[in-house]
Amino acid sequence: MLGVALSIVVMLLAAAWLGWQVATWRKTVEVTATTSFPTYGARLGDPHVTVTALNTGKSPVTVSRWGLRFPDGQVIVLINDLPWSAPLPHRLDHSADGKWYIPTEDVKKQSKTHGVRYQDLTAYVELADGRTIDARQRGIGWK
C-alpha cells in the first residue's frame, strides 16, 4: 500500500516538473508601444512610436511583421521601415528584443483620418509560426 502511494506521489511530481519545463520553454513574447526620441548629434528628433517585442520564453521566435491596429481591425502600414528599426524577419533569442519605429505624427494623422483616438490603437507583432501577439495595453505611449 505504501509503495502505491509513493508511486502516485512520484508520478504527480514528475507531471508537475514536466509541466513547468513546458511552460518555461514555451514561445512567449511581450509587446509594448512606447514613445522615443531619436537624437542627431546634439539635436533631439521628433517623437516616434516604438513597438517592442521581447522574447520571455526560452526558445527562439521570429517576428515576421509588426504594426498598429485600429479597433475595427484595420492596420497602419509602414511601407519603408525606418533605418534604425530591426530588419524583418527578426529572430528573437531568449530575453532578446526587437524594436520598430514610426513617427508619432504619422500615427496621429492616420488615427484622425480613421476617426479614432490614437490611445485606442493596439501594437502587435506577427510571428513566423502564424501567431499574432497584441500588446496588453492599448495606446502608443503618448499622451
Domain harbouring 77, CATH code: 2.60.40
Scan for cell 533605418, then name that residue: 83
**Cα–Cα dist 133/120, whole Å:** 16
Confidence category of residue 44, pLDDT binned at 50, 70, 90:
very high
In tens, the pLDDT along 13-28 reads 777 776 666 555 555 8
Q: Which structural domain, as residue segments, surrounds residue 42?
A: 27-134
DSSP 41-70: TTEE---EEEEEEEE-SSS-EEEEEEEEE-
Q: Decide if 129 is inside a domain.
A: yes
pTM for the whole thing? Answer: 0.81
> Domain total for the chain?
1
